[in-house]
Structure 1
Amino acid sequence: MKAMILAAGRGERMRPLTDHTPKPLLLVGGKPLIVWHLERLSTLGFKDVVINHAYLGEQIEQALGNGSVWGLNIQYSPESIALETAGGIANALPLLGDTPFLVVNGDVFTDIHFDRLSLSSPNLAHLVMVDNPPQHPHGDFAVSSGKVAEAGARKLTFSGVGVYHPTLFVGIQRGQPAKLAPLLKAAMSNGLVSGEYYQGVWHDIGTPERLHQLDELINFSSL
């Protein structure tokens, strides 16, 4: 299965750190956020990785190259304008192929076992859900009996890690911005989104403060 890392965000909430450095290249625990993903993907047996980028994207390509350092084959999907999550994925479909693929947000830090995730037909998406962090107390979706729905007794937060079938993005024109949530909700209404609840390490790195907190946690723990 191929993997895609979403790395095209401007990182407005991370300013001034992102004024001259793209968010995925910000250091945590002594190495760029995105390198943690690449190392983990390689360790878990992934070979082909697609990375989209927009703001300061040339820095990402210069820093990561073709991925051979990690035993990976990295291909890039540049965006001239911000395409949002679904638009970015749709734009990269020619590189991802016609079978299910893994997508990971570039601004999360996690030890989720990417290699254990899969997508069973006829589902169009499989989402990893986590406990609601302080900055997102109300969650996103509910998980029940292996299915994800908009409503439920207990809403969890979408981790930014999922497996998708290309068919989910069939209605999006390449190069056009599109959000992921409407696609997921439409698929949920038809019972086509599976999911699981993950209770391991997961951090959303959305602000300089959270980046600093994670950096301290990594430096003073065995993560």
Structure 2
Amino acid sequence: MKAMILAAGRGERMRPLTDELPKPLLKVGDKALILWHVQKLLACGFKEIVINIAHLGFKIAEALGDGSKYGVKILYSDEQDSGALESAGGIKKALPLLGDDTFLVVNGDIFCDYDFDVNFDLGDKLAHLILVKNPKHNPNGDFGLKETLVLNESDYKYTFSGIGYYNPKMFDNVACAKSALAPLLRENIKNQMVTATLYNGDWHDIGTPQRLKEINDRFHND
């Protein structure tokens, strides 16, 4: 299975830190956030990683190269000229690099200890999401969960972690243009084609300078 790291976002909420550095290169502990993902993916058995890049994306390519120094193969889906295509559009553009089999996607701006499953089987579904308990910044959650089936409406909703397994067929009708993932997910949820697992481990959305500081303070205090 191949993996994709979404790393093309502008990181507006991270300004001014992202004025001269793409958000995935911001450091957590002693290394760039995106490098945590690359090394964890390798540890979990992933050998090929696709990274989409836009805002200052050349700096990510310069930092990671072709991945050989980390023991993986890295390919880049370049959105620098078009501008970031958002999640669904970015995945659609990267499909020629991802192939015809199930693939994993992880947001480049999260930090977690989830063990990515290189052998995950979607069965007859089009997507499987990893959900987490709601953080302070998203108290109302995103999706409901009934056993393994994801619901759009529910008395209680969990937060989408930014980690998911996808069948490329889910993106058949997506244009290679700016397009968000949430509406596509909701459409397929209505058709009962999306499942999920609730993950109770360590997970953080590193979306603001304050959250980055909090996670780094924890590193320094350990």
Name the TM-score class by shorter chain: over 0.9
**Secondary structure class of the residue paired with 1:155:** coil
Aligned to 1:208: 209
Aligned to 2:10: 10
**Secondary structure class of the residue paired with 1:115:** coil
Aligned to 1:34: 34
Structure 1, unpaired ranges of 5+:
none
**Secondary structure class of the residue paired with 2:162:** strand
Structure 2, unpaired ranges of 5+:
none
Letter aligned with residue 212 of structure 1: K
Q: How far is the alpha carbon of 1:120 from its aligned partner?
A: 2.2
Q: 2:103 aligns with which of 101, 104, 107?
A: 101
In the alignment, is the contact (CA less than 8 A) between 1:130 and 1:197 conserved in 2? yes
What TM-score do you get using the length of structure 2 for normalisation?
Answer: 0.97
Aligned to 1:184: 185
Q: 1:83 aligns with which of 82, 85, 90?
A: 85
Aligned to 1:143: 145
In the alignment, is the contact (CA less than 8 A) between 1:119 and 1:164 conserved in 2? no
**Hey, what's the Cα distance between the residues in 1 that align with 2:150 and 2:118?**
18
> RMSD across aligned C-alpha pairs, in angstroms?
1.0
In the alignment, is the contact (CA less than 8 A) between 2:45 and 2:118 conserved in 1? no
Aligned to 1:122: 124
Aligned to 1:197: 198
**Secondary structure class of the residue paired with 1:163:** strand
Q: How far is the alpha carbon of 1:220 from its aligned partner?
A: 2.3
Aligned to 1:70: 70
In the alignment, is the contact (CA less than 8 A) between 1:117 and 1:163 conserved in 2? no
**Secondary structure class of the residue paired with 1:114:** coil
**Secondary structure class of the residue paired with 2:10:** coil
Q: How far is the alpha carbon of 1:116 from its aligned partner?
A: 6.4
What TM-score do you get using the length of structure 1 for normalisation?
Answer: 0.96
**Hey, what's the Cα distance between the residues in 2 that align with 1:192 and 1:28?**
35
Q: How far is the alpha carbon of 1:30 from its aligned partner?
A: 1.1
Stretches of 4+ aligned residues off by more than 6 angstroms: none
Percent identity reads 53
